[in-house]
């Protein structure tokens, strides 16, 4: 049972692939680091594995089943199997919602309804106090908003979590706190792909670090 990118080719304009022949596997309870310089394709691979970007060729497989579509064209069971945390929380959060509503948003979008007990657990895990939960994004720091985004990514209990430069905009204390949350989630069986250009962070966070573009990609793309 794994999340697999097999012989992946992907990009944003035809004829110039960002990924070419990339293979990557994330197992349950495993934290896999994805390292490389800016522009080498880390975020592109993260988006493909999170079913947010359709590959040109190759296959994404979730626990033995090939992905059938991306975004809302993918079956609900597949698109909710992979949670994702982005680098810039302000670009991924609805500014009209409170942090409490941001965390619960996926539950409502999938028709599951609010789950007060589970949401409260997640609030505690990521460090969202009652005062913070009632604020909107413009009333909190990047780190506080990212705490809500991590909880949002976990609220559907995904089997895999993609963290795309999750800590790039955070201070040291928030980085330690959220890396701890994600690591604890892996201990509970969630497979994690930790994307970062910070090699020192990956050295202590990930159980193995992959650089799949070393043979396939041009860092200038």
pLDDT at residue 1, as a whole number: 86
pLDDT category at 14 given cuts 50, 70, 90 is: confident
Task: Give yes or no for residue 159 having a pLDDT over 70.
Answer: yes
Q: At what angle do helices 116-126 and 172-187 cross, to 10 degrees?
A: 130
Task: Using the predicted structure, report yes or no on whether residue 12 has a pLDDT greater than 90.
Answer: no
> What residues does each domain of the chain span?
3-214
Using CA atoms, how far apart are residues 201 and 149, in angstroms rounded to an integer?
A: 20
What does the alpha-carbon distance between residue 125 and residue 145 come to, in Å, rounded to a whole number?
14
pLDDT, position 221? 34
Tell me the per-residue pLDDT of 36-93, one tens digit each, with 9 for 90 and over. Answer: 888 888 999 999 999 999 999 999 999 999 999 999 899 999 999 999 999 999 999 9
Homologous superfamily of 3-214: P-loop containing nucleotide triphosphate hydrolases (3.40.50.300)
Considering the entire predicted model, what is its pTM?
0.92
Q: pLDDT at residue 96 above 50? A: yes
What rounded mean pLDDT belongs to the chain?
A: 93
Residue 214 confidence (pLDDT): 55
219 pLDDT higher than 50: no
CB 5 within 8 A of CB 210: no
């Amino acid at each position: 049972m794994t999340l697999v990118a097999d012989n992946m080719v992907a990009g944003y304009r035809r004829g110039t692939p960002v990924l070419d022949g990339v293979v990557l596997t994330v197992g349950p309870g495993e934290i896999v680091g994805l390292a490389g310089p800016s522009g080498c394709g880390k975020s592109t691979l993260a988006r493909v594995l999170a079913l947010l970007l359709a590959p040109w060729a190759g296959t994404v497989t979730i626990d033995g089943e090939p992905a059938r579509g991306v975004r809302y064209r993918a079956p609900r069971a597949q698109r909710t199997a992979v949670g994702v945390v982005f680098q810039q929380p302000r670009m991924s959060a609805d500014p009209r919602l409170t942090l409490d509503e941001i965390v619960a948003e996926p539950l409502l979008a999938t028709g599951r309804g609010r789950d007060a007990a589970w949401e409260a657990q997640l609030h505690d895990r990521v460090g969202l106090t009652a005062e913070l939960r009632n604020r909107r994004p413009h009333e909190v720091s990047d780190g506080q908003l990212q705490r809500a985004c991590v909880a949002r990514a976990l609220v559907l209990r995904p089997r895999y979590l993609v963290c795309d430069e999750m800590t790039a905009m955070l201070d040291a204390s928030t980085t330690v706190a959220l890396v701890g949350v994600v690591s604890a989630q892996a201990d509970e069986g969630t497979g994690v792909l930790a994307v970062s250009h910070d090699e020192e962070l990956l050295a202590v966070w990930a159980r193995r670090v992959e650089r799949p573009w070393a043979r396939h990609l041009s860092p200038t793309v």
